[in-house]
Structure formats: C-alpha cells, structure tokens
C-alpha cells in the first residue's frame, strides 16, 4: 500500500471516482456526519443526479428529521422524506432488531429507486462500523445497498477531517442512533416511551451535554455521558433540575451510569 493510500484526500479522490461511474444514485440521508459527507461527495460527482431520502420512523428523533431537512436544503440537494410506520417485526425490540429494521426500511428505499429508474442506493457505512456490533450491515449486503465510504477505506476520523476541510458544519457532530437503542431488548415499545426518551435527551443537550444517551428501564432513567462528564451531571442537577425534569416526564428514579457512555451498551452482543 502506498503512502498516499493512508491520506484522506487520496481516499476522497477514490470515492469520487467510484461515484462518477454511476449514472444516478439515491443516498439514504439522516443528516449525520456519514450520510452528509456521502451526499456532499455524490453531488460533487453526479451534480443533480442524486436524490437524498430520509426514512422517517416513529423511533427516529423528530429533531434529527428536522436537521436532515435543513442540511439537505443548505446543500441544495434534492430531498424527500418518507414517513414509514413502526414495523411490527421490531415492536418488541428483539435482539436482531437492527437487521429486521434495516431490511424493512431499505426494501422500501430499493423499491422507490427502482420505480424512479435509479440503479444505485447508497448508505454511509464507514470503516469504523466494521468494528462495532452492526447486524444491520448484513441486511444492506443482502439487498444490494452500496457503501462507497467503506469501499474507499474512509474511517470516521477521515470523514471528520474531510468534512471540516470541505466546510461542512457536521464535522464534529456526535454520532446518533435510533431511539430503540435506549431500550432493553425483548420489551414491547410504544410511541409514548420514545417521545419521553427524546424529550429527556433534548433537555440534557440543551443544558450542555451534547454526547448523551438516556437509557430507559421502565420507570428508571439511566443517563450516560462521557466518563469525564459524569460528575458534571450531578453539578448540573443542582442548577438545572435534571431529576425534577425527568420525573415530570414520567420516570420515578433518575440515575447516572458511573461507567459513562458506551456505544451499544444495551446490545446483547455488544460491549
């Protein structure tokens, strides 16, 4: 491997080259770092022959849907939002939830692309995703969804570096995940609980915790923040009334996880 292969700029050129081989593409767009950079690159390569599509489900944060809409508009990209119902196959939050969800959602996206005569459906999977528990990747491969960032060997840090260099304000945006990841497996989920989780996290973000997860264990709220911010949650409670606000939302007990934030901490096969 040449020295240039380790250079994010060289990987970006490789990404553009692969995208230019397509006549048109649909980009699964959430408004996060990965899909935003992919959409940016696709527009560089294909101009207006790119359609960004946001799959809006009841377990996707309303704020994220709004951010995706604003981001696509700021980029001048063609953008559609598809409202989808809660798939009954994942209503009980099974351990293979991510596989079932991805298969259901991207089946809709593949069918939409087919009807529009577009032969490529792209997602923002990157190199770092291979090191995490991501059963949804299996569904993407089965359906023929393409992951150009992964094919170009781009890591999350590469994407942050490149996004900053290209003037994309999502370069330092924290990773996001659907609201089902806040709830233990094998428990029936309803929309009221999802909205409660979303409101709790929005409150915590508003008072300064940008990287936060609210794990919901029935009437217990377990707050995860980076380890260095755990003590800050206790201090912030005195000033902002975290305990009071979360109890207003319906929790009886509000706790802070001393181990700090861990990606996928509720995954049965995760960390």
Query: Which sequence positions are flagged as catalytic?
Result: 178
Say how many residues make up the chain: 271
Q: How many CA atoms lie within 13 A of 79 on its CB side?
A: 24
Q: How far is CA 140 from CA 21, 47, 48, 109, 240, in A?
A: 21, 25, 25, 11, 42
Residue 145, helix vs strand vs coil: coil
How do strand 121-122 and strand 78-83 relate by DSSP bridges? unpaired
Buried residues in 45-72 as b, exposed as e (16+ CB within 10 A): bbeeebbbbbbbbbbbbeebbebbbebb
| Those residues with Cβ within 8 angstroms of residue 51's Cβ, 6 or more apart along the chain or in another chain | 24, 25, 26, 27, 78, 79, 80, 116, 118
* Distance between CA atoms of residues 156 and 183, nearest Å: 26
Determine contact, residues 30/68, Cβ cutoff 8 Å. yes
Cα–Cα distances in angstroms (integers) from residue 41 to residues 14, 36, 159, 178, 224, in the given order? 11, 9, 11, 25, 33
CA proximity to 248, closest of 199, 215, 202, 188: 199
């Amino acid at each position: 491997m040449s020295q240039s292969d380790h250079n994010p700029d060289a990987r970006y050129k490789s990404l553009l080259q692969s995208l230019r081989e397509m006549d048109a593409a649909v980009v699964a767009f959430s408004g996060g770092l990965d899909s935003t950079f992919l959409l940016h690159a696709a527009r560089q390569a294909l101009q207006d022959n790119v359609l960004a599509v946001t799959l809006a489900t009841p377990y996707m944060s309303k704020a994220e849907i709004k951010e995706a809409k604003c981001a696509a508009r700021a980029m001048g990209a063609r953008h559609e939002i598809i409202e989808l119902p809660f798939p009954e196959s994942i209503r009980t939050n099974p351990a293979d939830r991510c596989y079932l969800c991805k298969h259901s959602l991207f089946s809709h996206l593949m069918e939409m692309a087919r009807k529009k005569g577009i032969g490529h459906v792209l997602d923002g999977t990157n190199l770092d995703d291979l090191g995490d528990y991501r059963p949804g990747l299996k569904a993407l491969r089965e359906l023929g969804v393409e992951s150009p960032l992964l094919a170009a060997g781009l890591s999350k840090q590469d994407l942050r570096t490149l996004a900053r260099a290209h003037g994309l304000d999502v370069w330092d945006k924290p990773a996001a995940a659907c609201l089902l990841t806040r709830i233990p497996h094998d428990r029936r989920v309803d929309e009221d609980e999802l909205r409660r989780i979303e409101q709790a996290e929005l409150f915590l973000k508003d008072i300064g915790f940008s990287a936060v997860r609210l794990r919901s264990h029935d009437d217990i709220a377990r707050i995860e923040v980076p380890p260095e911010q755990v003590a800050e949650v206790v201090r912030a409670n005195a000033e902002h009334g975290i305990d009071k606000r979360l109890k207003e939302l319906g929790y009886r007990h509000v706790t802070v996880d001393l181990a700090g934030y861990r990606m996928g901490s509720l995954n049965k096969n995760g960390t």
